Amino acid sequence: MLHFLTLLARSKRGATAIEYGLIVALIGITIIVSMSSMASKTIGMWDFVEEKIVPKEE
């Protein structure tokens, strides 16, 4: 395993793979953060709607 990591560190392809991996990780983090922010706003919107709804009497 150590031999593989040493070869990977010296290889130009390894550096490229690491760079792509970092880019994908940053994109993933950005998606997660934006979805979390959007979810909070959506939950707030539905809470507001729920407060405004008057229950129908039977």
Per-residue pLDDT at 44:
86
Per-residue pLDDT at 28:
95
Per-residue pLDDT at 3:
83
Per-residue pLDDT at 58:
60
Reported as a single tens digit per residue, the pLDDT across 1-43 is 778 777 766 766 666 778 888 999 999 999 999 998 888 888 8
pTM exceeds 0.85 for this model: no
Residues 6+ apart with CB under 8 A from 14: 7, 8
